[in-house]
Amino acid sequence: MTGGRDTDSELTISEFGRRAGLSHKALRLYDVSGLLAPARVDPINGYRLYSVSQLERARRISVMRQLDIPLSTIGEVLAGTDDEGLIRLDRWWAAEQATNDARKATLEYLRDRLLRPTSPGLPPRPVLTREVPETKVASIRADTDQQSLIGVIVSSTMEIRAHLGQAGADLPGGSWVIYHGAVTPESEATVEVCVPLTILVDPAGQIAIRVEPAHAEAYCTITKDECAYPRIMLAYDLVDDWVRRAGRPTTGPVREIYHPGFQHLAGSEPAVDIAQPIEGTAS
C-alpha cells in the first residue's frame, strides 16, 4: 500500500496500453480529447496510472477506432448508457452504409460515362410545378462536404424521427434536405434536414422546430439510382434551366424531397424530387 491506495489495481501506461491494445500515443490523444483520462497522475514523476476498471472502456474505444469511427462519435457512444450507446452506434453504421451505397452508385455512373460517353447521363423528364402548403417541421442544420453529405442526412433523419417518436408524434412520412449553400467535394456548406410533423413537439439539442412557409415550387422526379452524385446534379440542371426559361424568380434555397419509404424503394422507382421554390403560383 502507498498513500492509502491499492497499487495492485493501478497499471502503468505501458501495461494498460498492452492490455487494452492501445499505443502510448493513442492513450495520450484520448486523454487530451476527454475520452479516457488516467485514473490519476503521479504528482512526483508525472506518470499516468490507469485503473483495471478502465480496461473495458479502453477496449471499446480501440474497437471503434478500428472501425474508423470519429472521436466525436465515440464520445457520444460512450457518454450515456449502453442502450443509448447502441442507438448512436446503429445510427453511425446506417450512415456509413448509405455513404458506401452512394459511392458505389457514383462509381457506376463513372463507368457508364466511360463505356458510353455519348449517352445521356439522365434520361429526359418533365419539370412540373405545384403548391406546397405551410408545414411544421423538425430540423437539424449541419455543415458538410460532399463526402460526408449522405451520412449527415441519414443520421440527422434518424435522430429527428427518434425524437418525434418518443414525443408521440404521428409522422406523415417523407423528409427533405434544404441546401443553404453549394456542397461540393472541396467545400462545406450548411444543409438542413427536415421532417414534417402534425403536433406540437419541443425542440431538443440540435433539433429545432419551425414552420416552413407555403410556396410554389418547380420540381422534377428522379429514381433512387439517379440520386447518386454527380448524376443527381443533372436533375438540378433541368430544374435550373426551366426556372430560367420561365422567368420565375426563386424564393428560397433548392431542396431534395425524399418520398415516403425511400429506404425501401427499388433503384428504378421514383424516389426524390429536386425542387426549387419560385414566385407566383403553380401553373
Higher pLDDT, 114 or 153: 153
Give the pLDDT confidence score for residue 19 in this predicted structure.
Answer: 93
- What integer pLDDT is reported at residue 132 of this predicted model? 96
- Contact predicate 252/277, CB 8 Å: yes
Stated pTM of the model: 0.82
Cα four-point dihedral sign 101, 102, 107, 113: positive
Q: Which three cell numbers stand for residue 53?
A: 476498471
In this structure, are residues 37 and 79 in contact, taking their beta carbons and an 8 Å threshold?
Answer: no
- pLDDT tens profile 130-183: 999 999 999 999 999 988 999 999 999 999 999 998 888 877 779 999 999 999
Question: pLDDT value at position 210?
Answer: 95
Mean pLDDT taken over the chain: 91
1-49 pLDDT per residue, tens: 344 444 458 999 999 999 999 999 999 999 999 999 999 998 888 888 9
Q: Candidates 3.10.20.600, 3.20.80.10, 3.40.50.2000, 3.30.2270.10; correct CATH number of 128-278?
A: 3.20.80.10
Asked whether 218 and 242 are in contact (CB, 8 A), the reply is: yes
* Domain boundaries, given as residue ranges, for the chain: 7-72, 128-278
Least confident of 50-64, 103-117, 207-221: 103-117
| Domain 7-72 is found in CATH 1.10.1660.10 | yes
Q: H or E stretch including 100?
A: helix 82-115
DSSP helix, strand, coil percent of the chain (3-state; round to 5): 45, 25, 35
pLDDT given at position 175: 95
What's the CA gap between 176 and 250, in Å, rounded? 18
CA distance 86 to 92: 10
